[in-house]
Chains A and B, each alone.
Chain A
Amino acid sequence: MTNAAEFRTCPITGKKVFKTTQNLMWINAVTAVVFILIGGIMALLVALTRWPAVHLLPADLFYRFLTAHGLNMLIFWIVFFEIAGLYFGSSVLLNVRLATPKLAWLAYLLMLVGAVMVDIMVFTGRADVMFTSYVPLMAHPLYYLGIILFAVGALIGCGIFFATWAIARAEKTYEGSVPLVTFGLTAAAIIAVFTLSAGAIIYIPTFLWSLGIIKNLDAAMYRLIFWGLGHSSQQINVTAMVSIWYLLGALTVGAKPVNEKICRTAFVLYILFINLASEHHLLTDPTLSSAHKIANTSYFMYLAVLASMIHALAIPMALEVAQRKNGYTKGLFEWFTKAPWGQPGFPALIFSLFIFGFIGGITGVAYGTEQLAIKSHNTWAMTGHFHGTVVGGTTLAFMGLTYYVIPLIFRRELIGKKLATIQPYIFGIGIVLMSLGMGAAGTLGSPRRHWDVTFAVSIIPFSFDPTVILFTTVAAIGAMLAVTGGAIYVLVSVLSVFFGRKMAANEAKII
């Protein structure tokens, strides 16, 4: 065991990096990359099947791999990475040892065992239930148990984050207020506690139902509570991603928040209101009243939208101010054109910001109204929306950050810097094409989670407007590009973490 008090001082930021924190961040981040690899292979196979010209997999494998794709990407990859991020935001940024490292290892083990259980159930065909596992579609009990174990592990991770925060405050390892990035991650952790609690409320009875102990579960009520987990978990991503935008701004051009009050207020609005967005899934559901639908999606949710609008100003503003200080003062846009485009972090930040805002965010707000939900509910446009937010936005930001975490925290020099630099471009352009293709096909009615949009084997003959096939092909080509970008990411990060040159203790080089 490493000594809990053992630390080194980062030569660039002057932060204390404790050995235990470093090890726990390492294991969580490396595990995250393993799951993005599994999810990525599934993405390739699913995209090649939806591409009508290829139509690779048979129907049963398509639905099985689609289930695996959703779980490995949306839950396992992202949450493992976020746990690493929470340990960074508390222990490293606050200069304090991590609270209860042993419990942190337990949390990791619970998450790992849960994730492996879920994957075994899915790949052996005992849980062909999609990411949502809507009742009364039933999976093997071990599938639900796996999700519960994973959620409990992640909940312990959040608890360790708060405990570390408390130690730092008690021992006064920081002065005044916590750094903005830590504040943003705190918002993410608070949202996570609500999310994971909703998960527990719904998955425990569902587990008992799969064992036959509970006889009836209301399918609509399942949807309500499930989306308290399913959508809110994406709000954790949004909040963590925005925190990482601020971090990437600092790492790439030395950006600092222009007004702390404004930035923090935006995060507070997220804490208070963003979780109500779960309602977006229920807008075309029976039984639930219009008052509930309107109150949750409009009256309160728009305050969270306002928060995103604030970040949409604050981040580019911070970048511009920093770049002007760096000497790029010519005209309106020299600060932007002369930005470090040849460093992976900057294009990752900008692509993430634009794709999240203009593709993911705008579609999200639009589809979140009752009448437009009728036009888009369960169509492929939804898939386009959340690939804009969670893939083009969150995943790309996490990828960009990885290229800095490897040298700064894991002290290894990157292998394949050139590849790392073009990676955000390939991935970003791929996701843009894919999301827009999905959005366009979905607007024409193309459904999500569908093996064959040509309806070659339906009993009652039906076919879409041929433009649907065109847009489906555009989406598939985008997906191929994105998968290539994802593969480069996995390659660079795995090679660097395991075989990169070990950096000397005082070496102050980032990229």
Chain B
Amino acid sequence: MKKEEDRISGWQIFYDDLSLLFLLGMVIPAVIYLLWGVMEYANAPTAVIAP
């Protein structure tokens, strides 16, 4: 019995388990798209115009 369990691919277990997929699905776009973008806008220089 034990041996049979071992034959289930690690990938299959990863796909069946929601939590890690969920986490990656949140973190990847949050970091690469949102956070990075927000940082760029926040850190962009502002033009200084003489009065």
Contact = CB atoms under 8 A, between A and B. Distances in A.
Contact of B32 (A221, A225, A261, A295): A295
B6 interface: no
What is the size category of the interface that chain A forms with chain B? 35 or more
Interface stretch (A205-213, A270-278, A332-340, A487-495): A270-278
B1 interface: no
Given A218-B41, A272-B24, A292-B40, A186 B18 contact: yes
A268 B29 contact: no
Contacts of A162: 18
Interface in B20-44: 21-22, 24-26, 28-30, 32-34, 36-38, 40-42, 44
Interface residues of B, number: 23
B41 A190 contact: no
B24 A198 contact: no
Contact of A287 (B12, B22, B44): B44
Contacts of B11: 261
A197 to B, nearest CB: 8
A190 B21 contact: yes
A268 B21 contact: yes
A69 interface: no
Contacts of A193: 22, 25-26
Contact of A190 (B22, B36, B38): B22
A224 interface: yes
Interface string A190-233: 11011001100100000000000000001011001100100010
A276 B32 contact: yes
Contacts of B24: 271-272
A264 interface: yes
Interface-central residue, B28, B34, B37, by most chain A CB under 10 Å: B37
A221 B33 CA distance: 12
Contacts of A191: 25
A28 to B, nearest CB: 23
B37 A288 contact: yes
Contacts of A282: 37
B16 interface: yes
Given A165-B18, A186-B18, A276-B32, A224 B41 contact: yes
A409 B37 CA distance: 44
Contacts of A463: none
A300 B12 CA distance: 23
A58 B11 CA distance: 58
A228 B33 contact: yes
Nearest to B45: A287
A278 B25 contact: no
A20 B40 CA distance: 48
Contact of A225 (B26, B28, B34): B34
Contacts of A272: 24-25, 28
**Shortest Cβ-Cβ A-B pairs, 10 listed:** A275-B29, A271-B25, A190-B25, A224-B37, A221-B41, A287-B44, A177-B16, A276-B33, A190-B22, A264-B15
Interface of B: 11-12, 15-16, 18, 21-22, 24-26, 28-30, 32-34, 36-38, 40-42, 44
27 contacts: A176-B16, A177-B15, A178-B16, A186-B18, A190-B25, A190-B26, A193-B22, A193-B26, A194-B26, A221-B37, A221-B38, A224-B37, A224-B41, A232-B29, A264-B15, A271-B21, A271-B24, A271-B25, A272-B24, A272-B28, A275-B29, A278-B33, A279-B33, A292-B36, A292-B37, A295-B32, A296-B33
Interface of A: 162, 165, 176-178, 183, 186, 190-191, 193-194, 197-198, 201, 218, 220-221, 224-225, 228, 232, 261, 264, 268, 271-273, 275-276, 278-279, 282, 287-289, 292, 295-296, 300
